[in-house]
C-alpha cells in the first residue's frame, strides 16, 4: 500500500509540477533558483516555447537548449539572465526577431542562435556584449546590415553570420576585432566595397575555414590581402564590371587576358577597350571574325597583342598607333585588308611585328625605320607593293626580315650592310630589280640555306655579288640588257688582291681575282695576329669580285686607326695585303 502511495505522489508531482519553494519547474523538472548554475538540455526532444519563468534562474551561467524542437520567439525574460556566460539555442525552430534586450547579456562569452528561423536585423545592441568571444548567427533569415557596433567586441574570436539574407556593406569597424580567427560571411547579399581595413585582421585568407565571403555581391577592387583569393562574388551590378565572352571582369584590375584556343567565335567586342590596364592580350587560334575594333587603341599599357589564326577582316585600325607600350604585334593568318597604318611607326617599343598571311596592300610605311628596337619583321604572303624603304636597312637590331611573296619592286639599297644583327633575309617572289649591292656580302647570313637567305623569283641583274653567286635562284633578267657594273682596277699578272682606297678611312673595297671557282675565306687581323672580322667565307666563281670593309669588328664596333692585314685563303693559295686605317 505504501509503495502505491509513493508512486502516486511522484506521478502527481510530474503531472502537476509541484515544486518546493525556492524551485522553478521547467519541462517537468524542478530546479533550484539559488543553486542552478548550468542547465544542459540539448538533444532532449523538447517541444513548445521557452517558458518565461526560466528568468527566475538568476544565477544561471550556462544554458544549452540546442538540438530540440523549440518554437516561437525568444522571450525577453531570457535576456534578464545577466550572469549568463554561455547561451546555446542552436538547431531549433525559433522564429521572430532578436530583441534589443539581448544587450543586457553583458557577461555572455558564447552566444549561439544559429540554425533557427530568426528574422529581422541584427540589433545594434549586440555591440554591448563586450565580453563576447564566439558569436554564431548562421542559418537563419536575418536581414539588414552587420551593425557597426560589432567593432566593440574586441575579444571576438569567431563570427559566423553566413547563410542569411544580410545585406549592406562590411563595416570597417570590424577591423577593431583584432583577435578574430574565424570570419564566415558567405551566402548572404552583402554589397559594396570590402574595406581595406579588413587586412588588419590576422585571418588565414586562403583558408575557407578561417575566412569565407563567397556568394555575396561585394564589388572590386578588392583589398590587397585578397588580391590572389577567388572570392566568388556576383559582380553584375558593380561599377567598372565588363561582360566579355560570358564572363564578368572588373576591367581596371585585369592585366592579362588569354583566350587562345578557347573556341571563341563572332567579333571582338568593343568593350575590350575598357581594360585599360591590360598588358597581355591573346585571342589567337579561335574563330573570330569581323574587324578589329578601334577601341583597341585605348590599351596604352598593352605590351603583347596576338590575334593570329582567326578570320578577322577589314583594315588594321589607325588607333593601333596609340599602343605606345606595345612590344609584340601578331596579327598573322587572318583576312586583313587595306594598308599597313603609318601610325605603326610611332610604336618605338616594338620588337616583333608579324602581319604575314593576310591580304594587305599598299606600300611598306617608311617610318617603320623609326623602330630602332625591332628584331623581327614578318610581312610575307601579302599583296604589298612599292619599294622597300631604305631606312629599314638601317635597323641594326633587326634579326629577321621576311618580305617574300608580295609585289614589291624597286631595288635593294647599298645600306643593307647596316643590318649587322641579321640572320635571316627573305625577299623571294617579288618584282625587285637592279643590281644586288656588293655590300650584302658584309651580312652574316647562311647563303646556302634558302630558309635563311632567299632572293629567288625576282628581276635582279648580273653580275651578282660573290657571296650570292649560285644562290640567287631564278631571276627574270629580260629587262637587264647589257650593263657594265664594275670599274675594274688594274691588277697585274702577279697580284691577285688589291684594296682601294688604301690608306683609308672609314671604309675600303677589297678586290679579288679568282682564276678558278672555289671556296674562299677573307679575314681581317691586327698587328698581333688577332682576328678582327671575317668578311666572307664561302664559295665564289672565277673572275673579279669585290667586298667592302667598313672598319668594324665582328661585333659591329668601330676599330681604331692603325695597320691591319687582309688574309685571303683559297683552296690553292694564301694571299695577304696590308691595310692602313687613318685617323
**Alpha-carbon gap, residue 524 to 66, rounded angstroms:** 96
Which is it for the CA torsion 515, 520, 523, 527, positive or negative? Answer: negative
Q: Which pLDDT value is given to residue 529? A: 74
| 131: three-class secondary structure by DSSP | coil
For 497-581, CATH gives 2.60.40.4070
Question: Is the bond preceding residue 420 a cis peptide, omega within 30 degrees?
Answer: no
Q: What are phi and psi of 405, to 5 degrees?
A: 60, 50
- 17-226 and 497-581 share one fold: no
Q: What is the pLDDT of residues 520-537, one digit of tens each?
A: 889 998 877 788 899 888
Q: Which pLDDT value is given to residue 506? A: 85
Which three cell numbers mark 73?
520567439
**Alpha-carbon gap, residue 412 to 394, rounded angstroms:** 12
Q: Which pLDDT value is given to residue 501? A: 87
For the cut 60, the answer to whether the pLDDT of residue 486 exceeds it is no
Distance of CA 361 to the CA centre of its chain: 33
Q: What is the pLDDT of residues 330-386, one digit of tens each?
A: 999 999 999 999 999 999 999 999 999 999 999 999 999 999 999 999 999 999 999
Q: For domain 259-461, which CATH number applies: 3.90.1150.10, 3.40.309.10, 3.80.10.10, 3.30.70.560?
A: 3.80.10.10
Distance of CA 261 to the CA centre of its chain: 16
For the cut 50, the answer to whether the pLDDT of residue 505 exceeds it is yes
Q: Where are the beta strands (DSSP E) in 303-419?
A: 304-306, 311-314, 328-330, 335-336, 352-354, 376-378, 385-386, 400-402, 407-408
For the cut 90, the answer to whether the pLDDT of residue 540 exceeds it is no
**Alpha-carbon gap, residue 263 to 266, rounded angstroms:** 10
**Alpha-carbon gap, residue 254 to 262, rounded angstroms:** 19
The pLDDT confidence band at residue 216, using thresholds 50, 70 and 90, is very high
For the cut 60, the answer to whether the pLDDT of residue 539 exceeds it is yes
Q: What are phi and psi of 359, to 5 degrees?
A: -125, 40
**Alpha-carbon gap, residue 353 to 366, rounded angstroms:** 15
Which three cell numbers mark 428?
623571294
**Alpha-carbon gap, residue 10 to 271, rounded angstroms:** 81
Q: Say which CATH architecture domain 17-226 belongs to.
A: Alpha-Beta Horseshoe (3.80)
Q: What is the pLDDT of residues 121-145, one digit of tens each?
A: 999 999 999 999 999 999 999 999 9
Contact 36, 46 (CB under 8 A): no
The pLDDT confidence band at residue 17, using thresholds 50, 70 and 90, is low
The pLDDT confidence band at residue 481, using thresholds 50, 70 and 90, is low
Q: Where are the beta strands (DSSP E) in 355-406?
A: 376-378, 385-386, 400-402
C-alpha distances in Å from residue 357, one per residue of 366, 385, 530: 21, 15, 46
What DSSP state is assigned to residue 578? Answer: E
For the cut 80, the answer to whether the pLDDT of residue 60 exceeds it is yes
**Alpha-carbon gap, residue 242 to 260, rounded angstroms:** 19
Q: Nearest 10 degrees: CA dihedral of 151, 152, 156, 158?
A: -40
Which three cell numbers mark 222?
578588392
Residue boundaries of the structural domains of the chain: 17-226, 259-461, 497-581
Q: Which pLDDT value is given to residue 74? A: 96
Amino acid at each position: 500500500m505504501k509503495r502505491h502511495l509513493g508512486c502516486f505522489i511522484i506521478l502527481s508531482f510530474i503531472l502537476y509540477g509541484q515544486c518546493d519553494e525556492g524551485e522553478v519547474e521547467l519541462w517537468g523538472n524542478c530546479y533550484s533558483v539559488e543553486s542552478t548554475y548550468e542547465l544542459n538540455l540539448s538533444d532532449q526532444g523538447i517541444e513548445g516555447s521557452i517558458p518565461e519563468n526560466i528568468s527566475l534562474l538568476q544565477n544561471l551561467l550556462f544554458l544549452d537548449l540546442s538540438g530540440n524542437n523549440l518554437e516561437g520567439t525568444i522571450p525577453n525574460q531570457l535576456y534578464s539572465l545577466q550572469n549568463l556566460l554561455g547561451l546555446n539555442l542552436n538547431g531549433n525552430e525559433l522564429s521572430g526577431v532578436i530583441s534589443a534586450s539581448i544587450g543586457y547579456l553583458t557577461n555572455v562569452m558564447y552566444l549561439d542562435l544559429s540554425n533557427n528561423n530568426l528574422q529581422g536585423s541584427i540589433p545594434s545592441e549586440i555591440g554591448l556584449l563586450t565580453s563576447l568571444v564566439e558569436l554564431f548567427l548562421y542559418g537563419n533569415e536575418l536581414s539588414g546590415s552587420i551593425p557597426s557596433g560589432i567593432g566593440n567586441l574586441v575579444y571576438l574570436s569567431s563570427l559566423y553570420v553566413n547563410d542569411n539574407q544580410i545585406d549592406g556593406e562590411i563595416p570597417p569597424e570590424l577591423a577593431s576585432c583584432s583577435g578574430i580567427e574565424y570570419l564566415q560571411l558567405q551566402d548572404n547579399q552583402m554589397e559594396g566595397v570590402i574595406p581595406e581595413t579588413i587586412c588588419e585582421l590576422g585571418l588565414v585568407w586562403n583558408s575557407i575555414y578561417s575566412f569565407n565571403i563567397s556568394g555575396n555581391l561585394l564589388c572590386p577592387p578588392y583589398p590587397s590581402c585578397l588580391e590572389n583569393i577567388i572570392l566568388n562574388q556576383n559582380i553584375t551590378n558593380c561599377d567598372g564590371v565588363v561582360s566579355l565572352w560570358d564572363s564578368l571582369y572588373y576591367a581596371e584590375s585585369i592585366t592579362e587576358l588569354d583566350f587562345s584556343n578557347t573556341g571563341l567565335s563572332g567579333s571582338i567586342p568593343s568593350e575590350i577597350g575598357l581594360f585599360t590596364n591590360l598588358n597581355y592580350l591573346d585571342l589567337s587560334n579561335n574563330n573570330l571574325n569581323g574587324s578589329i575594333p578601334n577601341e583597341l587603341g585605348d590599351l596604352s599599357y598593352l605590351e603583347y597583342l596576338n590575334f593570329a589564326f582567326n578570320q578577322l577582316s577589314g583594315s588594321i585600325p589607325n588607333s593601333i598607333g596609340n599602343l605606345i607600350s606595345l612590344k609584340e604585334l601578331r596579327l598573322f593568318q587572318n583576312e586583313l585588308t587595306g594598308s599597313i597604318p603609318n601610325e605603326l611607326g610611332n610604336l618605338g617599343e616594338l620588337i616583333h611585328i608579324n602581319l604575314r598571311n593576310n591580304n594587305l596592300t599598299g606600300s611598306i610605311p617608311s617610318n617603320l625605320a623609326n623602330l630602332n628596337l625591332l628584331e623581327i619583321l614578318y610581312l610575307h604572303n601579302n599583296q604589298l607593293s612599292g619599294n622597300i624603304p631604305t631606312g629599314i636597312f638601317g635597323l641594326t637590331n633587326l634579326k629577321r626580315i621576311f618580305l617574300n611573296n608580295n609585289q614589291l619592286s624597286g631595288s635593294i639599297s647599298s645600306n643593307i650592310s647596316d643590318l649587322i644583327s641579321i640572320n635571316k633575309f627573305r625577299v623571294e617572289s617579288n618584282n625587285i630589280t637592279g643590281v644586288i649591292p656588293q655590300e650584302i656580302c658584309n651580312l652574316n647570313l647562311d647563303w646556302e640555306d634558302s630558309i635563311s637567305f632567299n632572293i629567288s623569283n625576282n628581276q635582279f641583274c648580273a653580275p651578282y655579288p660573290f657571296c650570292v653567286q649560285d644562290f640567287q635562284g631564278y631571276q627574270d633578267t629580260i629587262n637587264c640588257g647589257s650593263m657594265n657594273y664594275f670599274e675594274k682596277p688594274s691588277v697585274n699578272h702577279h697580284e691577285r688582291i688589291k684594296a682601294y682606297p688604301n690608306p683609308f678611312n672609314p671604309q675600303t673595297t677589297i678586290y679579288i681575282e679568282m682564276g678558278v671557282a672555289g671556296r674562299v675565306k677573307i679575314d681581317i687581323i691586327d698587328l698581333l695576329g688577332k682576328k678582327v672580322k671575317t668578311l666572307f667565307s664561302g664559295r665564289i666563281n672565277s673572275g673579279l669580285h669585290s667586298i667592302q670593309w667598313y672598319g668594324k669588328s665582328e661585333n659591329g664596333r668601330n676599330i681604331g686607326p692603325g695597320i691591319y692585314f687582309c688574309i685571303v685563303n683559297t683552296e690553292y693559295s694564301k694571299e695577304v695585303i696590308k691595310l692602313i686605317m687613318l685617323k
